[in-house]
């Protein structure tokens, strides 16, 4: 990437920080195309991790951890592992994998523990997704549906529950991934 493109991306990121809250909400979309080969800036990575640390969690357990994948082999492997990331997840600068600690979410009814872990994971990912929009980073959530290769690998889960992923990177334009939304009136049942 040229120094001009670098300066442009920094300019965009700075501008994004100045957006109002409403603009952030209105411009929040899932993005699956990213500027290729550009690592995420360290301050952007930290902002996304900060958002996870700030996320609400059931009984304030804070049992969600993030595995940060940004090497080419890891990106290619996880594009294979994630059913909902097929053919595009490797394009990101990084994939944030959300893991729920099994110790944290152990419950006498395993179904309840799993639900709490899934919900905390979804909140953490949503917080990171919105923070990404705020700082000018493109992102898309990927559900925790894994291919058989991944689920069949010994020790794959390492004692944790996989609760989803967020693919992050710098956006390319135009955005082709933006279906229209319902009106506020249409939401009301
Ligand atoms: C629980 C949940 C699971 C999702 N899973 C995937 C997924 O596996 N792969 C994917 O490409 N997008 C996934 N998405 C993103 C949705 O496709 C996206 O939010 C939807 O199309 C609306 O677009 P928008 O986010 O731009 O408003 C998921 C979103 C949610 C909330």
Residue 28, pLDDT score: 85
Residue nearest to atom 30 of ligand 1 (CA): 141
Give the binding-site residues of ligand 1, using a 6 Å CB cut-off: 29-30, 32, 84, 140-143, 178-179
Residue nearest to atom 15 of ligand 1 (CA): 141
Q: Model's pTM, two decimal places?
A: 0.87
Sign of the Cα torsion 162, 64, 23, 5 reads negative
Spatial CA neighbour of 68 closest among 102, 95, 39, 38: 95
Residue 11, pLDDT score: 82
For the chain, which residues make up each domain, given as ranges? 3-173
Say how far apart CA 110 and CA 47 lie, in whole Å: 33
Residue 155, pLDDT score: 63
Which atom in ligand 1 lies closest to the alpha carbon of residue 181?
27
Distance 151 CA to ligand 1 centre (A): 22
Q: Which CATH class is domain 3-173?
A: alpha beta
Mean pLDDT by 10 residues, the chain (189 residues): 84 68 69 94 97 97 96 96 97 97 90 94 98 94 88 70 96 78 93
User: Residue 137 in contact with residue 40, Cβ under 8 Å?
Assistant: yes
Say how far apart CA 6 and CA 21 lie, in whole Å: 26
Say how far apart CA 142 and CA 165 lie, in whole Å: 5
Which atom in ligand 1 lies closest to the alpha carbon of residue 177?
26
């Amino acid at each position: 990437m040229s120094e001009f493109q670098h300066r442009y991306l920094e300019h965009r990121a700075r501008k994004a920080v100045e957006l109002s809250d409403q603009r952030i909400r209105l411009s929040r979309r899932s993005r699956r195309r990213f500027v290729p080969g550009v690592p995420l800036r360290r301050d952007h990575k930290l902002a996304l991790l900060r958002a996870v640390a700030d996320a609400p969690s059931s009984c304030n357990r804070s049992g969600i951890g993030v595995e940060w994948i940004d090497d080419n082999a890891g990106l290619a492997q996880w594009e294979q592992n994630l059913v909902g990331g097929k053919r595009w997840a490797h394009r990101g600068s990084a994939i944030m994998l959300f893991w729920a600690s099994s110790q944290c979410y152990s419950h006498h009814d395993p179904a309840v523990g799993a639900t709490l872990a899934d919900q905390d994971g979804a909140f953490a990912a949503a917080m990171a997704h919105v923070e990404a929009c705020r700082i000018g980073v493109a992102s898309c959530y990927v559900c925790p549906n894994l291919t058989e290769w991944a689920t069949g690998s010994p020790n794959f889960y390492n004692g944790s529950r996989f609760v989803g992923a967020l693919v992050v990177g710098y956006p390319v334009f135009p955005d082709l991934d933006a279906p229209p939304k319902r009106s506020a009136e249409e939401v009301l049942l």
